[in-house]
């Protein structure tokens, strides 16, 4: 299997986990009354808990070895920021509204990848990304009938997430995925602690604490898959496949919150899936062209 196809599959699996994460966070905040700061802190605490349980204390200490502390701290700060802003946004907005803003990420990443990573983004790929975003606008129709202040949190989360993906790509070149995951967990745990403990509520429900512990598994698993994906392919090539999250989010919104998808959702989903399939087709063509370009070099050797 080509590396880029592996990266695409990893991204798809990662964003599905993020859909479950956002749905769980919204359910905890709106239906069960858990403070957002407590949700954020538990998301990072549970991630550290599971990493420690799998690797043990000694293995956990080994995850502090990094080739660039500065980049790890930068990425970790961006992850805390995007997590906090996103959880605030999903509490006050519909899931499809926050997701539509998140889907601006490929356009922002594609634009930033040129000056920050030196990657080339062809016009066909940019057109496919634009078509996918049009599909998002179709799905959320008529999502923006009123301007909510919470949209600012969603846009802030999206921009922080875009920068996070750029930094993740750089880190994936020299740091193992678990090291990157560990730094994000530690920084998030420390940064969110003062706010979480101020708003802390001790719930008697086992269900609530189980869901809170599940947050780290979902978030950590999703980020681990994304980190792995960017080891196999350029960030601008695989990021468009976050559109897969739309399908899983529509399904979860229906089963958990009773939000029934309308015809706009189906039409938009077809447009998004179509753009994704075209990108896969372009990646296969690019892979074949690279192999053909290498053949004369191999013959000379």
Q: Indicate the domain borders of the chain.
A: 3-300
Give the C-alpha distances (Å, rounded to integers) separating 153 from 48, 134, 148, 180, 214: 26, 22, 10, 25, 24
Q: How do residues 165-179 score in pLDDT, each as one tens digit?
A: 889 888 888 888 889
Mean pLDDT for the stretch of residues 203-209 = 94
Q: Judge whether residue 205 has pLDDT over 70.
A: yes
Beta-carbon-side half-sphere exposure of residue 184 (alpha carbons within 13 Å):
30
Percent of the chain, pLDDT > 70? 86
Q: Judge whether residue 290 has pLDDT over 90.
A: no
Mean pLDDT for the stretch of residues 240-251 = 82
CA-to-CA distance for 132 and 139, rounded, in angstroms? 11
Mean pLDDT for the stretch of residues 25-44 = 95
What is the CB neighbour count within 10 angstroms for residue 210?
9
Mean pLDDT for the stretch of residues 76-105 = 87
pLDDT interval class at 18 (50, 70, 90): very high
Mean pLDDT for the stretch of residues 186-190 = 94
Backbone φ, ψ for residue 104 (5° rounding):
-75, -15
As a whole number, the mean pLDDT across the chain is 83
Beta-carbon-side half-sphere exposure of residue 239 (alpha carbons within 13 Å):
30
Backbone φ, ψ for residue 260 (5° rounding):
-80, 130
CA-to-CA distance for 276 and 248, rounded, in angstroms? 15
- pTM of the model as a whole: 0.80
137 or 197: which carries more pLDDT confidence? 197
Q: Which residues of 211-222 are buried (b: 16+ CB within 10 A; e: fewer)?
A: bbbbbbbbbbbb
pLDDT computed for residue 298 by the predictor: 44
């Amino acid at each position: 299997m080509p590396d880029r196809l592996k990266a695409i599959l990893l991204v798809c699996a990662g964003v599905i986990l993020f859909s479950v994460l956002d749905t769980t966070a919204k359910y905890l905040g709106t239906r069960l009354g858990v403070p957002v700061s407590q949700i954020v802190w538990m998301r990072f605490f549970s991630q550290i808990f599971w990493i420690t349980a799998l690797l043990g204390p000694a293995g956990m200490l080994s995850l502090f070895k990094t080739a660039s502390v500065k980049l790890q701290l930068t990425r970790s700060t961006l992850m805390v920021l995007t997590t906090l802003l996103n959880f605030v946004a999903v509490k006050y907005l519909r899931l499809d509204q926050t997701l539509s803003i998140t889907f601006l990420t490929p356009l922002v990443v594609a634009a930033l990848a040129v000056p920050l990573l030196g990657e080339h983004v062809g016009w066909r790929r940019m057109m496919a990304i634009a078509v996918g975003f049009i599909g998002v606008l179709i799905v959320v129709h008529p999502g923006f009938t009123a301007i909510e202040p919470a949209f600012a949190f969603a846009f802030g989360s999206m921009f922080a997430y875009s920068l996070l993906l750029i930094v993740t790509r750089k880190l994936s070149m020299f740091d193992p995925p678990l090291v990157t995951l560990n730094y994000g967990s530690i920084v998030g745990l420390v940064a969110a602690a003062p706010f979480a403990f101020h708003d802390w509520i001790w719930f008697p429900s086992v269900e609530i604490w189980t869901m809170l512990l599940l947050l780290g598994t979902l978030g950590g698993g999703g980020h681990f898959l994304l980190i792995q994906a960017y080891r196999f392919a350029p960030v601008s090539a695989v990021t468009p496949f976050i559109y897969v999250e739309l399908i899983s989010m529509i399904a979860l919104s229906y089963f958990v919150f009773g939000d029934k998808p309308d015809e706009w959702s189906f039409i938009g989903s077809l447009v998004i899936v179509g753009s994704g399939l075209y990108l896969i087709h372009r990646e296969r063509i690019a892979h074949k062209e690279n192999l053909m370009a290498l053949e004369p070099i191999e013959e000379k050797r």
